[in-house]
Chains A and B, each alone.
Chain A
């Protein structure tokens, strides 16, 4: 069979770019998982290798609901009752009663006025700014916001500015500097995915009130488990109902499949319904995911048991790592970065942990700043004490092999370089 016409030069150029990615250690390889998502999974890596059962410390399965039997049953029932596909965008014939039901449930859960579903939170972030702001306005974002927010800001005609990460003095300077703008929207993640630290949401809200600005929070790494009842960073910082726009995902704690939403002031949500391009020109999330997400909201609203267990697991894991002599980023979220500073060391440690049946991923420049290479561990309510004991034993063994236990940043850098 003849191959499609493709300029030879295009193949050469693309091939060279792929080789450059490999040479730079940035080539991403998928690991095939032969099991439902969970605390323990069977992984084929590299492709063709025998299956290996490993402890999973790198999933966003914070509440352990990705394969929960009640969620699976709800998905099956949803499939039976509402079918598989909608074959339409929302505003033509792609909206079922359960789509609106989920929006209403999310509004109640997040403490907002209205909600609009998107097929992902990336889509929500890509569409929301352009829908509600114009060239008369300004977006002022924390410098560590998620990549999808950066993409959304680039699609919007409003002026762009940033403030130093979690620096409230700098944010206030920016609010004053842009006092001439019609609207100022301050943009932050609720929990920052790289370091696992929380935005100072109470201080941000206070500053925005003082300067008559609006607040946007992407709570993807918080919805379902941060705050006393899991309603996210607004609950954690006692500012429920005071956030103008929240975006979040169902692809992490809330079942882990896919989908996201914009939730907030009624007018903002309605403008997104009228103008947000990912909503207007793409199908929304499948009914089966809607049905399962409704069940997830039932589960997280009925009891705080899972978020409590997750919180406890995160505390225990932080203590175990610290006692073992690892250098970790302080914080309260279930994202616990183990700092290694050197890119090759991060890769070697991740590889050795995989050999010890612990699945983690090393991050290094340009994914994180130069000299900030680390392994990002993520806890789940599905982890048991036995899992954490197994994990820390493997970490101790690998840490000892590389002689990094009890070593300060300077000592690690002296030995391995940046």
Chain B
């Protein structure tokens, strides 16, 4: 069995974190590790192919927000939760208004 390996990340001294903050940070790092290491390396081939086809590719983690109401569904992503929810609200608002022909 492989030895359990951990990574220690120092936090700025001025930052005061509560239990929820710590859980969020822990979950975020676990997600990062999973995305980077536990899902295989097929993405490297896809990335290479895209670049060979002339695409400049940027990628990274993002917030994703979704809204459902009956059959209606919207989703939006953003670099921050604020951005994702603002995008979601905008999409919902586009169709919130009534529409007649």
Contacts and interface: CB of A to CB of B under 8 A. Distances in A.
B41 interface: no
B90 A160 contact: yes
B99 interface: yes
Interface stretch (A138-146, A236-244, A301-309, A326-334): A138-146
Contacts of B98: 144, 194, 363, 365-369, 372
Given A160-B94, A367-B98, 10 more contacts: A17-B71, A143-B96, A146-B99, A150-B95, A154-B91, A154-B94, A161-B90, A165-B97, A193-B100, A363-B100
A210 to B, nearest CB: 24
Nearest to B94: A150
20 contacts: A144-B97, A146-B99, A147-B99, A150-B95, A150-B99, A153-B94, A154-B91, A160-B91, A161-B90, A165-B97, A193-B100, A194-B98, A194-B100, A363-B100, A365-B98, A367-B99, A367-B100, A368-B100, A369-B97, A372-B98
A37 interface: no
8 closest Cβ pairs, A-B complex: A147-B99, A368-B98, A150-B94, A144-B97, A194-B100, A143-B97, A193-B100, A160-B90
A304 B91 CA distance: 42
A150 B100 CA distance: 13
Interface of B: 71, 90-91, 93-101
A170 to B, nearest CB: 12
A363 B100 CA distance: 8
Contacts of A153: 94
A193 B101 contact: yes
A70 B71 CA distance: 47
Interface in A353-380: 363, 365-369, 372, 376
* Interface size range on A against B: 20 to 34
Main secondary structure of the interface of B (DSSP, over half): loop
A160 B95 CA distance: 12
B29 to A, nearest CB: 30
A147 B100 CA distance: 8
Contacts of A143: 93, 96-97
B75 to A, nearest CB: 12
A67 interface: no
A365 B93 CA distance: 16
A282 interface: no
A33 B82 CA distance: 52
A269 B91 CA distance: 27
A162 interface: yes
A162 B93 contact: yes
Contacts of B100: 193-194, 363, 367-368, 376
A141 B99 contact: no
A149 B49 CA distance: 36
A216 B95 CA distance: 19
Contacts of A150: 94-95, 99
Contacts of A144: 97-98
Contacts of B97: 143-145, 165, 369
Contacts of B90: 160-162
A226 B100 CA distance: 20
A192 B54 CA distance: 44
A262 B98 CA distance: 24
B30 to A, nearest CB: 31
The residue among A143, A146, A147, A161 with the most chain B CB atoms within 10 A of its own CB is: A147
